[in-house]
Copies of this chain bind each other. A is one copy, B any other.
Amino acid sequence: MNQTGTRPDPDAVKRSLEVLGDRWTFLILREAFFGVRRYGCFQRNLGIGRNVLAARLAALVEHGLLERVRYRTDPDWYEYRLTEAGLDLFPAILTIKAWAERHLLDSKNPRLHIRHSACGAELAPLVVCEHCREPVRASEVEYEATDRVA
């Protein structure tokens, strides 16, 4: 960490919060990761108002996390599927979940257990540097100036 006076502007995280910061949005994505695709199923599982659900689904489609796909005709019925961008959010959500289980929950809170089917172990996520594969720590990074945009 440095303490320089330059103030980089990491739009990325701010933008994520705009897209994901809403509680319902996040819960809808969670359902999608559990395999839910249909409007009625989201509605039933979350007990969410129809207007709110419709607005949040539309926003997730607009932001490219879900796609609305017709799965039946006459009448046309649609379902919501995670896009590549939506699926790619999974590791980040998993990392937040693990952090909260370590630091925010106590032993009375139930935990959702996730198994890593690739290896069979209970899944504990670890964030590593793609280059050296060592775990990432806040104390081992340096912030650099942001790109200048013309």
A contact set with B: CB distance below 8 Å: 1-3, 7-17, 19, 21-23, 26-27, 30, 33-36, 45, 63-65, 82, 85, 87-105, 108-119, 121-149
Contact = CB atoms under 8 A, between A and B. Distances in A.
Contact of A128 (B45, B97, B125): B125
B94 A89 contact: no
Contacts of A133: 126, 128, 133
B2 A35 contact: yes
Contacts of A116: 129, 131-132, 134, 136, 140-141
Nearest to A36: B3
Given A2-B35, A95-B92, A96-B92, A134 B118 contact: yes
B136 A105 contact: no
Contact of A127 (B12, B34, B114, B126): B126
Contacts of A34: 1-3, 8, 143
A87 B139 contact: yes
B115 A142 contact: yes
A117 B148 CA distance: 23
Contacts of A105: 11-12, 15
Given A13-B97, A16-B99, A125-B127, 12 more contacts: A11-B109, A11-B110, A13-B100, A14-B23, A33-B138, A87-B137, A88-B99, A114-B144, A117-B140, A118-B129, A126-B129, A128-B133
Contacts of A110: 8-9, 11, 146-149
